[in-house]
Structure 1
Amino acid sequence: MFLEDCAKAINPENPKESIVVKSFSRTIFIRGINNPSEAFQIYNNIADLKAKLHIHSVFSVVTAEPKYPFWRIIELFRHDADCLVCVVGEKMVKLTDEVVKMLRETASTLRDTSRSQFSEIIRASRRAGLEELKFIIEGKAADHKIPPHASKKLCWLIDELSKRYKGDELNSVVWRCFKSLEPYTRREERKWRE
């Protein structure tokens, strides 16, 4: 029942298409997704299902380009902790269950943040240092471009991530986390010209 629920969480339209390997100790589901932030949503759905399960289990969600070697993905599943792994080019970003919980907590504060303003923050996270990024975020709140509570939560997230990661890995994790949060922002209505 649990595996069937996981298959439905991964691929609601056709759950049986996702199951690739099923054994006593391991099940692997594969699904093509267009946007890596979908992996965050899938991870959250499975985390909710796992919370109802009363036996120990470990799950990981890995996103990679279609040409990424499958055997390398299999190697990523050898960890004994829940995690969300994002492979972009040659860089791999691993988000622990604890970090994903922080993302869930942050996502709820972004409902009133416009997608275009948040996209600017994501772009800034690629090139700015962390203190500069926090200053940019605080400036957007001071200019009433994003809500103050969202600004505080994003700065809190950056501080928490900097306690867990260092150097280039930290920059990659901040960018990946912000990119994962983008769907939780408010999408602007487009006015069509007639």
Structure 2
Amino acid sequence: MRRLILALAGMLLLSNSAVAQDGVPDLRATAVGRPLAAALDTCGIQVIRHSMPKGIGGLWLDTKHLIILAQDLEGSEATLVLAHESTHAARTCAGLTPPQPADVEARPAWIDAMLDEEAEALVTEASMAAELISGGVEDAREAAARRPFVDPLLAMLVDGVPRAQVRAAARHAIEQTTYRKYYESLFSLSAAR
């Protein structure tokens, strides 16, 4: 899976259809996004738009210092996905994302750390949606509704549920899906090198 993603990144970077686009101003305009935008600027992370496979709104490619947003994302949905991917990028830049361990014994701890990071990115995305909605951004509610993990987290935030509890709900939700298998596959692929 990781090799497929890296191959996709290589094709995107070599493709003439890749369009450089600074989506960061959308982040800078929000309280949730300002620290993320600052991290992107500090770390020299580029944001581009490109066609992506169905169901993938964005990717953070740490080895390339690159965030790729799906070309067809518009308005608030693009801002939400950028906030999500920027969370991964900012955490990597700050040294908070653990590198894949070489030792098989360390696999469970690494997978749990990656699931924790994914939960944090989802909560950031939901927080961004809440801020956009409270600011009167018209398409923000619909954008959040199209993001299956974000919509229930947004409802919790709007209801005043503490962030730690929202994060625990996000972590529980992703534990019930294919995210664990995804990170297990990444680990297995890296061990097979």
TM-score by length of 1: 0.31
Flag the structure with larger Rg: 1
